[in-house]
Structures are given as structure tokens and as C-alpha cells.
């Protein structure tokens, strides 16, 4: 039987190529299901979010029914992580059963949105990043059975959480989460080996949800006084650890690898950013992972040129942050905008943050915002 090569773009780069039979196997059946849900579906569309391809909530319900005919029942924790057709196709090829043999370590929290959780116009993205990051870290520590201050590698070196990718996808602009609204946060953690941890979270409010995907590793300092030479490390996994094991690198991690190996495109705009230690630096003396979106937003105001009006109008619906390096407290940062796409009711900006001292790329961000004000 003839075979065709299916090229799946991941994070803007065509990097996965596999031969699949033309008319048999789960990948072909999933491709057929996608073709029904998305007219004229092609591999070039595989890295775009379902919502951007016109698949609404009912369409996703119908697509899931078709998918489960091929793969069997798909656990909610798996289904809610699928943002693009490429990730769905990868699920079909992974060889992993949708129902995990272990339920993994889970955790949930409930909140009432009040001023500590709010910012201009609604929910604070800074608070949200901190809270889901804390839940991710808490699930790891619970699974390993230690406190964060007692986490060391086999050589006795102190390990620190290093967030490598964090993606938010909201059904509504986050400004639509209102004062006194009750929200529930639920997460599940898994690991690939002993050094990479992945969590999936759902933040449910009134008739709206946010999906968060997080990937983290561990770092240790090569020098006590510097953050620019951090080394990778990993903890010892205790016997009976409840954190579910992923036998293969998930698509979310593959997307990170693809982005890491892809140089940023040309520059549309750039400006310096002076680190504010009392806000941007965390308790371990590192540039806080939750500060990156705020740094991006501050510099974005300069790029757009509408000042406070833009801050009040533009509300995040998607944010994908790829973290590559850290910096010292006294470093200056350089923000660069690399792409701007006007979406009618919103805008998508690709940007990066680098160290001014040596040009080291520290992060790449893809931010989509919806214009909600006049």
C-alpha cells in the first residue's frame, strides 16, 4: 500500500515527519475526523488552535465523539490539553493509551475573586501565573515527599524549580472574570523521567474556563553569586512516587524543543527594560517566571503606542511563554517584537526577552489579546 508523509508543524516549525498509510490506522482515521470538523483541513493547519480554525464548543463535542471511535474513551485530563489538530494527531501516534494506568498526583483549590486577584478590568494574569505555578510546584513536592527548601540532587546541590513553558488558553478574555466570582482550579501532574514535569490545569469560572499547560525542570547554580550559568539537575524519585510517568515526550514538550531550536524572526520594535528587583525577582534571587508576562505587557504598551487606553482595552485570551535562561538582578533586558497579526477583534504578538549584557535569549512569548473596550 502506498504511504504518504504527513508533516506536522509544531510551534511554527515543521519538525515532525512520519509516513502513514493512506487509508488505514489511527492517524488516517483521525485525519478523516479532522477533515469533517474543519473543511479543507490540511497539515499546514495542524499548529493552529481549534478555535482559530472555526471549531466551536459543539464542534469539539462532535470531534471528540469521532476521536473516541478511533482511540476509545479519552480522559478529560487528556482531552482538555489538546489545543491544536497537531496535538490530536500526535496523541493518535504516541502509542499511549488515553486512560492512564495511574491517576497521578492531583490537587484542587477554590477562590473568590477579590482585589488581590484582580487587575485593570478583571482577573490579574500576574496573580494567575503565580497561583498555577505554585500549584504545579506543590504537586511536585507532594509527589516527591519533600519541602521545596529541602530539595537537593544526588550531589547535595540545592535544586530550584525552572519553568520552561507555560501556556494559557481562555474561552473568554480574562477581563471577563469579575469581582466576587467564584473560580475553581484543578490540576494533575505527570513526569517524563526524573527531570521534566508536566501539569495540566483547568480554571473554571461562570460559563468560562481557562486551560493551563505547564512544563518545568530543575536547575542548580554553577556559581553561588550568578544566575547566568545555571545548570540542569534532577531530584531522586522516591519509591512509590504517585506522579504518573510519561513514557514519551508529550507534544507540549516537543513544541518547546522546536521553539528552542528556531531563531527568532526579524525585529519590528525593541526597547530596554530595567529590572525592578522588588517585583521581578523571586525569593530564590531569580527573575520570577511570573514576571515575564508583565515585562512583556509593559514593553508592549510602548510598541503599540496607545498608553493606558491599550491596557484597559486589550485582554489576554492566550499566552504561551517559552523560558530559556535567567539573569542577575542587575542585568538590563531587551524586549523585541517580532510579529504582529491583527485579528479583527484582537491582536497576536510574538516577542522575545533577552539579556542586554550578552544578547542571550531568555524567553519567547506568543500573546493573543482581544479588544474589549471602546
CATH number, domain with residue 38? 1.10.1200
Phi/psi class of residue 148: alpha, beta or left (left: φ > 0; alpha: ψ in -120 to 50)?
Answer: alpha
Q: Provide CB contacts within 8 A for 108, sequence distance 6+.
A: 184, 185, 186, 187
Q: What is the pLDDT of residue 80?
A: 67
Q: pLDDT exceeding 70 applies to what percent of the chain?
A: 84
Residues 225 and 363 in one domain: yes
Residues 135 and 17 in one domain: no
Q: Does 347 score more than 80 pLDDT?
A: yes
Q: Answer yes or no: is 98 within a domain.
A: no
Q: State the cell numbers at 233.
A: 539537575
**What is the average per-residue pLDDT within 246-268?**
92
Q: Which of 102-111, 229-238, 309-318 reaches the highest mean pLDDT?
A: 309-318
Q: What is the pLDDT of residue 58?
A: 61
How many CB atoms lie under 10 A from the CB of residue 142?
15
Q: What is the pLDDT of residue 73?
A: 67
Give the CATH number of the domain where residue 262 resides. 3.10.129.10
Q: Does 1 score more than 70 pLDDT?
A: no
Q: From 63, 138, 120, 184, select the one nearest 313 (Cα to Cα).
A: 120
Residues 236 and 278 in one domain: yes
Q: Which of 91-95, 122-126, 257-261, 338-342 reaches the highest mean pLDDT?
A: 338-342
Residue ending a domain, among 68, 93, 118, is 93
Q: Does 90 score more than 90 pLDDT?
A: no
Q: Band of the pLDDT at 14, cuts 50, 70, 90?
A: very low
Residue ending a domain, among 93, 120, 143, is 93
Q: State the cell numbers at 139.
A: 504537586
Q: Cα separation of 256 and 261, whole Å?
A: 9
Q: Answer yes or no: is 37 within a domain.
A: yes
Q: Band of the pLDDT at 9, cuts 50, 70, 90?
A: very low
Average the pLDDT over each of 88-102, 236-250, 327-341 and give the range with the smallest value: 88-102
Residues 267 and 309 in one domain: yes
Q: Name the β-bridge partners of 340.
A: 349
User: What is the domain extent for residue 52?
Assistant: 3-93
Q: Does 19 score more than 70 pLDDT?
A: no
Q: What is the pLDDT of residue 8?
A: 37
Q: Cα separation of 319 and 309, whole Å?
A: 21
Average the pLDDT over each of 29-33, 109-113, 125-129, 176-180 and give the range with the smallest value: 29-33
Number of domains in the chain: 2
For residue range 276-298, what is the model confidence (pLDDT) as tens digits? Answer: 999 999 988 889 999 999 999 99
Q: Band of the pLDDT at 57, cuts 50, 70, 90?
A: low
Rounded to 5 degrees, φ, ψ at 252 are -60, -40
Q: Band of the pLDDT at 94, cuts 50, 70, 90?
A: low
Residues 194 and 302 in one domain: yes
User: Considering Cα of 55, then 61, then 67, then 73, what sign does the dihedral take?
Assistant: positive
Residues 208 and 256 in one domain: yes
Q: Answer yes or no: is 268 within a domain.
A: yes
Q: What is the pLDDT of residue 15?
A: 36
SS3 334: strand
Indicate the DSSP class of residue 229.
Answer: T
**What is the average per-residue pLDDT within 24-38?**
80
Q: Name the β-bridge partners of 209.
A: 204
Q: What is the pLDDT of residue 39?
A: 84
Q: Band of the pLDDT at 77, cuts 50, 70, 90?
A: low
Residues 192 and 54 in one domain: no
Q: Answer yes or no: is 209 within a domain.
A: yes
152 vs 133: which has the higher pLDDT: 133
Residues 206 and 272 in one domain: yes
Q: From 212, 231, 215, select the one nearest 223 (Cα to Cα).
A: 231
Q: What is the pLDDT of residue 307?
A: 84
Average the pLDDT over each of 54-58, 83-87, 170-174 and give the range with the smallest value: 54-58
Q: Answer yes or no: is 321 within a domain.
A: yes
Q: Answer yes or no: is 100 within a domain.
A: no
Residues 89 and 128 in one domain: no
Q: Answer yes or no: is 81 within a domain.
A: yes
Residues 152 and 205 in one domain: yes
Residue ending a domain, among 60, 93, 126, is 93
Average the pLDDT over each of 57-66, 90-99, 145-154, 164-173 and give the range with the smallest value: 90-99
Residues 296 and 190 in one domain: yes
Residues 150 and 25 in one domain: no
Q: Answer yes or no: is 270 within a domain.
A: yes
Mean pLDDT of the chain: 84
84 vs 214: which has the higher pLDDT: 214
Amino acid at each position: 500500500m502506498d504511504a504518504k508523509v504527513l508533516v506536522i508543524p509544531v510551534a511554527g516549525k515543521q519538525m515532525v515527519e512520519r509516513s502513514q498509510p493512506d487509508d488505514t490506522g489511527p492517524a488516517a482515521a483521525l485525519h478523516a475526523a479532522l477533515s469533517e470538523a474543519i473543511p479543507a483541513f490540511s497539515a499546514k493547519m495542524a499548529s493552529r488552535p481549534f478555535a482559530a480554525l472555526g471549531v466551536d464548543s459543539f464542534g469539539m463535542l462532535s470531534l471528540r465523539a469521532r476521536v473516541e471511535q478511533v482511540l476509545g474513551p479519552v480522559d478529560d485530563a487528556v482531552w482538555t490539553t489538546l489545543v491544536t489538530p497537531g496535538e490530536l494527531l500526535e496523541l493518535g501516534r504516541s502509542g499511549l493509551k488515553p486512560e492512564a494506568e495511574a491517576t497521578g498526583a492531583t490537587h484542587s483549590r477554590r477562590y473568590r475573586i477579590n482585589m488581590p486577584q484582580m487587575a485593570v478590568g478583571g482577573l490579574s494574569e500576574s496573580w494567575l501565573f503565580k497561583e498555577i505555578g505554585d500549584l504545579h510546584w506543590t504537586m511536585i513536592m507532594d509527589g516527591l515527599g519533600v519541602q521545596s527548601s529541602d530539595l537537593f540532587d544526588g550531589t547535595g546541590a540545592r535544586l530550584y524549580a525552572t519553568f520552561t513553558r507555560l501556556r494559557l488558553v481562555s474561552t473568554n478574555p480574562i477581563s471577563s472574570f469579575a469581582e466576587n466570582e467564584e473560580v475553581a482550579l484543578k490540576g494533575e501532574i505527570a513526569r517524563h523521567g526524573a527531570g521534566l514535569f508536566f501539569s495540566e490545569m483547568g480554571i473554571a469560572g461562570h460559563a468560562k474556563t481557562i486551560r493551563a499547560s505547564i512544563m518545568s525542570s530543575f536547575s542548580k547554580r554553577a556559581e553561588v553569586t550568578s544566575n547566568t550559568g545555571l545548570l540542569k539537575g534532577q531530584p531522586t524519585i522516591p519509591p512509590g512516587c504517585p506522579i504518573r510517568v510519561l513514557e514519551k515526550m508529550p507534544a507540549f514538550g516537543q513544541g518547546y524543543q522546536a521553539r528552542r531550536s528556531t531563531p527568532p524572526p526579524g525585529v519590528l520594535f525593541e526597547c530596554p527594560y530595567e529590572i525592578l528587583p522588588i517585583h521581578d525577582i523571586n525569593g530564590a534571587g531569580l527573575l520570577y517566571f511570573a514576571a515575564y508576562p508583565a515585562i512583556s505587557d509593559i514593553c508592549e504598551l510602548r510598541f503599540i503606542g496607545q498608553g493606558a487606553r491599550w491596557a484597559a482595552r486589550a485582554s489576554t485570551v492566550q499566552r504561551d511563554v517559552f523560558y530559556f535562561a535567567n539573569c542577575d538582578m542587575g542585568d538590563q533586558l531587551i524586549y523585541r517584537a517580532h510579529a504582529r497579526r491583527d485579528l479583527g477583534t484582537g491582536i497576536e504578538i510574538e516577542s522575545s526577552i533577552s539579556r542586554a549584557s550578552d544578547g542571550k535569549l531568555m524567553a519567547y512569548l506568543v500573546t493573543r489579546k482581544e479588544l474589549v473596550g471602546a
